Amino acid sequence: MASIDFYDVKTRQKVSIDESKVKKTTFNTKNGQVRHGLRAKTDDGRNLTKFISKAEWDKLKVPVE
């Protein structure tokens, strides 16, 4: 299965997370803008977030959070 790259802020490195562990979600800003993103967890339980384009969000076949 494919993997998706996230940036781990704590370790300051890119981490690859298996697509089966990733969920897609939307974030609403204060201005009413909708941002599309992916959420995942590292092996030790830290949250990872990656913002992506709407086209990329629609293309991904992962569950919506």
Q: Is residue 27 part of a domain?
A: yes
In a domain, 31, yes or no: yes
Instruction: Look at residue 54 in the predicted model and tell me its pLDDT.
Output: 97
> Phi/psi class of residue 32: alpha, beta or left (left: φ > 0; alpha: ψ in -120 to 50)?
left
Asked if the structure places residue 49 within a domain, the reply is: yes
Query: Does residue 45 belong to any structural domain of this protein?
Result: yes
Looking at residue 50, its pLDDT comes to 98
Residue 64 placed within a domain: no
Domain assignment present for 65:
no
Range of the domain at 48: 3-59
- pLDDT digits 0-9 by tens, 1-45: 699 999 999 999 999 999 999 999 999 999 999 999 999 999 999
pLDDT bracket for residue 62 (50, 70, 90): very high
- The answer to whether residue 43 sits within a structural domain is yes
Number of domains in the chain: 1
The pTM of this model reads 0.90
